[in-house]
Structure 1
Amino acid sequence: MLHHMISSGPRPVAPFSHAVEVDGWVFVTGQMPTDPANPDAPLPEGIVAQTRRVVENLRIVLGGIGLGLEHVTMARIYLTEFERDYQALNELWPSFFTPGRLPSRTTVGVTALAVGALVEIDLVARRPN
């Protein structure tokens, strides 16, 4: 089992590894819409901007271990304003992936997220053989 912390990755908001890898499976901790270069900066405004930042942070973590979004098999998305933001998220989500190659996904409405975020996303990826 490998525990990965990516030096250029987002500052953790709690005690965790950015990713844990077991037998080629990579479990990426939920990322927040914080800026790794300026972690104390205000969060981006709105669900679209926050989702873009979260996905960029996920790319940084995956890239730090030699993977990309094309290796993602499952995504879990947490929204604090589910009714308001679900449609905008669904319109944006496919733009991050090759057409016809979306990972499986679960989206859940939650009461709150760390750092006051509107969205958090965690991933499961598979390292190619």
Structure 2
Amino acid sequence: MAPKFHMFSNGPRPVAPFSHAVEDDGWVILTGQMPTEPTAPDAPLPEGIEAQTRRVMDNLLLILGELGLGAEHIVQCRCFLTEFERDYALFNETYKSYFASDRLPARTTVGVTALAVGALVEIDLIARRPQEGES
């Protein structure tokens, strides 16, 4: 089966040439999302790491929702922070609020020098569709 490349008209406007998600054999890979507002992509970014993390997570969940999936299907996240030492603790508090405490995805968090659109945070992820007989 060939991979499926997904773009959603109500999803965040891409800041580069990519698909919102690519799916193959039950695996769903979401492109890293920025803290842009899907309904107003040219609006200023939210202020601070907490607001930007919420917007990024909401954008990821919007795309997962278009695919009939939710946070419970996420198996791995990669997180990128431009102000790692300053923002790491508050980022963690905000991030973990999106998951059940017993279903935290595997995760890598990396400090970087810059992100597209001047963002403080970007997150990409891998999700897995439930297989037949799974809940």
Taking the TM superposition and a 5 Å limit, the aligned residue runs for 1:35-74 are 35-74=37-76
Give the residue type in structure 2 aligned to 1:20. V
| TM-score of the two chains, using structure 1 as the length reference | 0.98
The residue number in structure 2 matching 1:88 is 90
Could you tell me which runs of 5 or more consecutive residues in structure 2 were left unpaired when the two chains were aligned.
Answer: none
How far the C-alpha of 1:42 sits from its partner, in A, is 0.1
Taking the TM superposition and a 5 Å limit, the aligned residue runs for 1:4-19 are 4-19=6-21
Give aligned-pair identity as a percent: 70
Give every structure 1 segment of 4 or more consecutive aligned residues whose post-TM-superposition deviation is greater than 4 Å: none
Q: How many residues align?
A: 129
Q: Distance in 1 between matches of 2:24 and 2:95?
A: 27
Higher-Rg member (1/2): 2
How far the C-alpha of 1:99 sits from its partner, in A, is 1.8
Deviation sequence 1:110-129 (CA, Å, 0-9, x none):
00000000000000000111
Provide the aligned C-alpha RMSD in A. Answer: 0.6
> Does the CA contact (< 8 Å) of 2:54 and 2:95 recur in 1?
no
| TM-score of the two chains, using structure 2 as the length reference | 0.94
The residue number in structure 1 matching 2:117 is 115
Deviation sequence 1:37-88 (CA, Å, 0-9, x none):
0000000000000000000000111011111111000000000000100011
